[in-house]
């Protein structure tokens, strides 16, 4: 029933484009990935492939796409088949993403890697692979989710990830330690802003972290998150860090800024989750 409701909502809000997208050498996989990639790809022409059902607002439909869908029908679920077919008619040389833990990316890379180069750029610390490994080892997960991972080319933070993926037998064909793309983006923007009249008057910047409410029904129904958050230890630990930082700033007459991790327009649910965390744990004072 939930899938039917999601499908109806998707159809009602989406604009149907009755033509085949133009050929493009580069496809950005996942519209959210563009947040990380827009600077390094600023001199390239690319097609942005929407892969999040909650964000899709246009659906391509043409005779060529329909032919591809029938041809690929048994290669996955309907959404996977649609994405594979769309990529095939666009005929890119490279599909790139910064969503290096996207299971949909893994599925499609397995299907099309012989025709197209697939590149994933690490966007965050991959604590999730350690979590999946622990939960499977502790018999809290029926299936080993790490076996679903498949990345033809991974650009990662450093040698630690290279060793970790090898240790956990995660399927990565080629791995290249290149550093942190988000840090590079930040340094690039800082360089630009240092030449402008805009200045920041803060002494300490505390980066917000993701702390879902462990009492949330959606969290409890998810084996991964319920195992991590049901005790409340993770949330309490971060609360203590924030409280200590606030007290330190008050004691030393310092100005504090806490930038949220998720953009309100691009990831409204995640943004609300962060706001709720602060409302839940802190007074106005």
The answer to the question of residue 191 being in a domain is no
Residues 60, 29 within the same domain: yes
CATH number of the structural domain spanning residue 67: 3.40.50
Model confidence band, residue 77 (pLDDT cutoffs 50, 70, 90) = very high
Domain containing 107: what range?
A: 2-186
**E-only strand ranges, the chain:** 15-17, 26-29, 47-49, 58-60, 94-97, 117-121, 150-156, 171-177, 204-205, 256-257
How confident is the model at residue 194, as a pLDDT? Answer: 72
Higher-scoring residue by pLDDT: 129, 216 = 129
Residues 108, 138 within the same domain: yes
HSE of 130 in the Cβ direction (CA atoms, 13 Å)?
8
How confident is the model at residue 42, as a pLDDT? Answer: 93
Share of the chain above pLDDT 90, in %: 61
Spatial separation of the C-alpha atoms in residues 97 and 186, rounded to whole Å: 18
| pLDDT beyond 60 at 216 | no
How confident is the model at residue 71, as a pLDDT? Answer: 95
Which range is most confident: 79-93, 122-136, 269-283? 79-93
> For the chain, what is the domain count?
2
Residue where a domain terminates, one of 159, 186, 213:
186
Model confidence band, residue 228 (pLDDT cutoffs 50, 70, 90) = low
How confident is the model at residue 221, as a pLDDT? Answer: 47
HSE of 22 in the Cβ direction (CA atoms, 13 Å)?
4
Residues 107, 7 within the same domain: yes
Residue where a domain terminates, one of 131, 155, 186:
186
In 17-168, alpha helices (H): 34-37, 63-71, 78-90, 103-112, 127-137, 159-167
Rounded mean pLDDT of the chain? Answer: 87
Residues 130, 89 within the same domain: yes
Residues 161, 215 within the same domain: no
| CB-based burial, 100-109: b 16+ in 10 Å, e otherwise | bbbebbbbbb
Share of the chain above pLDDT 70, in %: 88
| CB-based burial, 202-221: b 16+ in 10 Å, e otherwise | eeeebebeebbbbeeeebee
Residues 249, 123 within the same domain: no
Residues 149, 217 within the same domain: no
Does residue 171 sit in helix, strand or coil?
A: strand
Residues 154, 211 within the same domain: no
Contact (CB, 8 A) for 249 and 255:
yes
Model confidence band, residue 214 (pLDDT cutoffs 50, 70, 90) = very low
The answer to the question of residue 192 being in a domain is no
Residues 182, 58 within the same domain: yes
Indicate whether this model's pTM tops 0.85. Answer: no
How confident is the model at residue 148, as a pLDDT? Answer: 96
Residue where a domain terminates, one of 155, 186, 217:
186
How confident is the model at residue 196, as a pLDDT? Answer: 63
Residues 272, 132 within the same domain: no
The answer to the question of residue 194 being in a domain is no
| pLDDT beyond 90 at 30 | yes
């Amino acid at each position: 029933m939930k899938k039917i409701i999601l499908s109806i909502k998707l159809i009602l809000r989406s604009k149907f484009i009755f033509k085949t997208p133009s050929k493009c050498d580069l496809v950005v996989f996942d519209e959210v990935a563009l947040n990380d990639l827009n600077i390094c790809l600023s001199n390239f022409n690319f097609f942005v492939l929407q892969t999040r059902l909650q964000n899709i607002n246009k659906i391509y439909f043409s005779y060529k796409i329909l032919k591809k869908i029938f041809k690929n029908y048994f290669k996955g679920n309907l959404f996977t088949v649609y994405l594979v077919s769309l990529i095939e008619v666009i005929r890119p040389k490279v599909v790139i993403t910064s969503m290096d833990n996207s299971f949909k990316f893994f599925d499609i890379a397995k299907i099309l890697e012989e025709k197209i180069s697939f590149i994933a750029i690490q966007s965050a610390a991959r604590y999730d692979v350690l979590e999946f490994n622990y939960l499977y080892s502790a018999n809290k997960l029926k299936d080993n989710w790490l076996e679903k991972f498949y990345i033809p080319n991974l650009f990662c933070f450093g040698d630690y990830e290279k060793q970790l993926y090898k240790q956990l037998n995660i399927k990565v064909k080629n791995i290249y330690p290149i550093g942190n793309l988000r840090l590079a983006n930040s340094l690039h923007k800082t360089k630009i802003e240092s030449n402008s009249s805009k200045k920041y008057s803060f002494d300490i910047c505390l980066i917000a972290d993701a702390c879902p409410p462990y009492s949330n029904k959606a969290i409890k129904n998810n084996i991964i998150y319920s195992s991590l958050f049901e005790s409340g230890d993770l949330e309490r630990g971060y609360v203590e860090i924030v409280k200590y930082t606030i007290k330190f700033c008050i004691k030393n007459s310092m100005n504090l800024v806490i930038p949220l991790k998720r953009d309100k327009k691009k990831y409204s649910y995640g943004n609300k989750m962060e706001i709720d965390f602060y409302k839940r744990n802190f007074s106005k004072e």
